[in-house]
């Protein structure tokens, strides 16, 4: 994730994140599409957690909550990166988030 942020020299950010922030509250179609994509991303993260060594032992509720937390962290990191936060700060955030998983 940090590599994607570092390679975005113009700090355009994530299209979906930008749409969620800039348009979803004004456009029902954008809101529906962004919501569906976020749900798919959360499901993909939950599936990856289920396949992990530790996640196999977790309840579905715990996997889903962890997936939602990771998605939230990802979206927040994209916003902070777009706002120009230093890579070191972003890496510190990533490390802290992963410590909690």
pLDDT band at 65 (very low <50, low <70, confident <90, very high): very high
| % of residues, the chain, pLDDT over 70 | 88
Q: What is the pLDDT of residue 46?
A: 96
More confident of the two residues 96 and 82: 96
Q: Between residues 14 and 62, which one has the greater pLDDT? A: 62
As a whole number, the mean pLDDT across the chain is 87
What are 1-29's pLDDT values in tens digits?
667 666 666 556 678 888 888 888 899 99
Residue listed under structure tokens 């490390």 = 95
């Amino acid at each position: 994730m940090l590599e994607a942020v570092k390679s975005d020299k113009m700090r355009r950010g994530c299209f979906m994140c930008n749409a969620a922030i800039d348009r979803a509250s004004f456009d029902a179609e954008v809101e529906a599409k962004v919501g569906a994509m976020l749900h798919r991303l959360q499901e993909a993260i939950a599936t990856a957690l289920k396949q992990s060594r530790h996640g196999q032992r977790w309840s579905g509720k715990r996997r889903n909550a962890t997936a939602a937390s990771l998605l939230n962290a990802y979206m927040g990191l994209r916003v902070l990166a777009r706002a120009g936060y230093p890579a070191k700060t972003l890496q510190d955030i990533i490390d802290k988030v992963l410590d909690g998983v």
